[in-house]
Structure 1
Amino acid sequence: MRTTLVRILLIWLFSAVGFAAKGKDCVTSDEAAKHANKDVCVEVHVYDVVELADGTRFLDVCSPETPDEKCGFTIVSLREDRVEVGELQKYRDEDVHVRGIVQAMHGRSGMVLSHARQFYGGEPKFKPNPKLLHGFSGEQAKPPIADPNLRPHGRHRAFMNSRDQETLPSK
């Protein structure tokens, strides 16, 4: 009994190690443009962290010798995600793996960095589509969608309508 338990435990352990080793392979920033609108892991070297006046931060992943118009990939972190992303200066002059959805951004490919877990293979922060939330509030009584099955059709109908009474035969 004990040897069977040990065998099962060893099989489970080796399968878990094998599963963990099969993570997604990361692509280079040059290959990322081929994966537009896909969730990929990108392996880049961060040369600099640039912050704009509005709080938007960029990870500069192109070498200083590359002119800005020739740089084909960027990683952007928006001001509203600053708390979830954390400090980015620690990644300067480091090789990092960032997971996210590759998007077209002003003539180049890019990725939005919205949470620190993206550096460890985690997914970006969920952001609901504002067009779907139009006119919806958690405090309102009506449902957020106009489902025809949720509204009455015509007048109120009861199990036994008072107008449809049968007369009972008298004794």
Structure 2
Amino acid sequence: MGLRRTSAISAALSACTAGRMGGFLLAGVLACSGVTAQAARRCYSSAQALHHLRHRTCIRAHVYREINLDDGTRILDLCSPGAADCEFALVSLDRNRKSVGSLKQYVGSDIEVLGTVEPIRGRAEIVLRKAAQVRSRNAREVAAARPRERRVKQDRFRANPTLLKSFNAEQNRAPVSDPAFHGGYSN
């Protein structure tokens, strides 16, 4: 794929230098933006997170479990159970719970997290502020396999409250006051 993209860039640049600016310029710009986007998506392992402190980067890791603290903070444990010291973690604060959503879907799956790696007590962490920061192939497959819940429209009929006050089903009179039903007309 990289070879194909490189040849597309070189073809676009040679077309631009030859004076054929038309669609090749647009193709060149799109190809270049694809290369920079691809370079920005490079993910590092969680062991390399300490080398990218205070940088917005992508970290790839396996989630072993979710830890819920008393203050509502949730931590995704990215270290194997046998590891003595964990150097990297994902943290979701209680105030971001609504925008991040459930983290249980990531347990047991490989994820990629995009965010700023922050140092804390000799370790590194990324604070999750929204769900779009996390990409998980396994979670996407699970979500796709799960049947979608259909939103059922509720009844839109609502009785007029003023009519309800004047009507009682146990009464022996008509629910509507119509002069035609009052006496005075005879056959």
Q: Normalised by the size of structure 1, how large is the TM-score?
A: 0.59
Partners of 1:89 and 1:107 in 2: how far apart? 27
Partner residue in 2 for 1:42: 59
Question: Among 14, 20, 43, which residue is 1:26 paired with?
Answer: 43
Q: Partner of 1:169 in structure 2? A: none
Distance across 2 between alignment mates of 1:36 and 1:19? 21
Counterparts in 2 of 1:8 and 1:44: CA distance versus 1, 3 Å? same
Distance 1:12 1:37 in 2: 30
Give the number of equivalent residue pairs. 116
The Cα of 1:107 is off from its aligned counterpart by: 3.1
Q: Deviations over 1:56-104 (max 9, x none)?
A: 000000001113xx11111110000001101100000111111111112
The question of 1:112 aligning with 2:127 is answered: yes
Q: Which of the numbers 107, 123, 131 marks the counterpart of 1:92?
A: 107
Alpha-carbon offset, residue 14 of structure 1:
4.5
Larger Rg: 2
Residue 73 (structure 1) aligned to one of 88, 106, 121 = 88
Give a deviation string over 1:18-53, Cα, whole Å, max 9, x none. Answer: 454333311111111111111111111101111112
Other-structure match for 2:77: 60
Structure 2: distance between partners of 1:109 and 1:10: 40
Local SS of the residue matching 1:22: helix
Q: RMSD over aligned Cα, in angstroms?
A: 2.2
For the residues of structure 2 that align with 1:34 and 1:100, how far apart are their CA atoms? Answer: 14
Extract unaligned runs of 5+ from structure 1: 121-171
Q: 2: distance between equivalents of 1:22 and 1:88?
A: 28
| Distance in 2 between residues matched to 1:64 and 1:45, nearest whole Å | 12
- Note the residue ranges of structure 2 that are not aligned, 5 or more in a row: 1-20, 136-187
Q: What SS does the corresponding residue of 2:90 show, helix, strand or coil? A: strand
Q: What residue identity is the alignment partner of 1:32?
A: A
Percent of residue pairs bearing the same amino acid type: 36
1:91-148 alpha-carbon deviations (Å, 9 max, x no partner): 001111111111122331111111111115xxxxxxxxxxxxxxxxxxxxxxxxxxxx
Greater helix fraction, Structure 1 or Structure 2 = 2
**Alignment CA distance shift 1:44-1:12 (3 Å):** same
* Higher relative contact order (Cα pairs below 8 Å, separated by 6+ residues): 1
